[in-house]
Amino acid sequence: MESGDFIDKTDRVLVERFVRARDEATFRELYRRHTPALYPLALRLVGGSQSEAQDAVQDTWLRACQALAGFEWRSSLRTWLSGILINRVRELQRERGRRQEEELPDDYPQRAAARPGARMDIDRAIARLPAGYRHVFVLHDVEGYTHEEISARLEISVGTSKSQLHHARKALRGLFRGQ
């Protein structure tokens, strides 16, 4: 993930201006540059709930604005924001008592495809994965993170990351074969 990053000069200029002036116009520029990428990531991580995704994006910007002055540009702004978002999604789900299932239920394909008449699309199928599988799958197969990056970000071992990705792929393949 980091290898593909580069520090966008426009981001740097905007951040420096924002830290200096804290003005609304500069913030809106930053918001409009990055939220179109943060929002679908949030939607996928939370499993499709628009309200939860919006909460996560809002909190991400709140945290980012609190910490921007100390941002050291060791990654791109987009990667840094995504990291904040991932942490916030996990916290929100813990706060809301979301059960972090580690195993798929036996009837996963049937339950996942339960909406009558609905052809399963990838996002809908991803949304029905247990949170742990979903997070790893989205970060690895959709966003391009390595297992090492996922391990660090989600505070799980590399082996767990690989295992959860394997099970997530297996579940999704089963789902699409069965439709």
Please tell me whether residue 8 binds another protein under the rule CB under 8 A: no
Please tell me whether residue 179 binds another protein under the rule CB under 8 A: no
* Nearest in space to 90 (alpha carbons), one of 137, 42, 126, 54: 42
Q: Which long-range contacts (CB under 8 A, 24 or more apart) does 134-141 make?
A: 134/44, 134/45, 134/47, 134/168, 135/45, 135/86, 135/89, 135/90, 136/161, 136/164, 136/165, 136/168, 137/164, 137/165, 137/168, 137/169, 137/172, 138/41, 138/44, 138/45, 139/86, 140/165, 141/165, 141/169
| Shortest Å distance, C-beta 105 to another protein | 19
Distance CA 169, CA 156 (A): 18
| Shortest Å distance, C-beta 111 to another protein | 20
| Shortest Å distance, C-beta 34 to another protein | 10
Q: Take residue 164 and report the two structure tokens written for it.
A: 């959860």
Please tell me whether residue 168 binds another protein under the rule CB under 8 A: no
With contacts defined by CB under 8 A, how many residues of the chain interact with another protein? 41
| Shortest Å distance, C-beta 22 to another protein | 5
Report the residue number, 116 or 163, with the smaller CB distance to another protein. 163
Please tell me whether residue 118 binds another protein under the rule CB under 8 A: no
Interface residues toward another protein, by CB under 8 A: 22-24, 27-28, 31-32, 35-41, 43, 50, 54, 57-58, 61-63, 65-67, 69-70, 95, 122-123, 141-143, 159, 162-163, 165-166, 169-170, 173
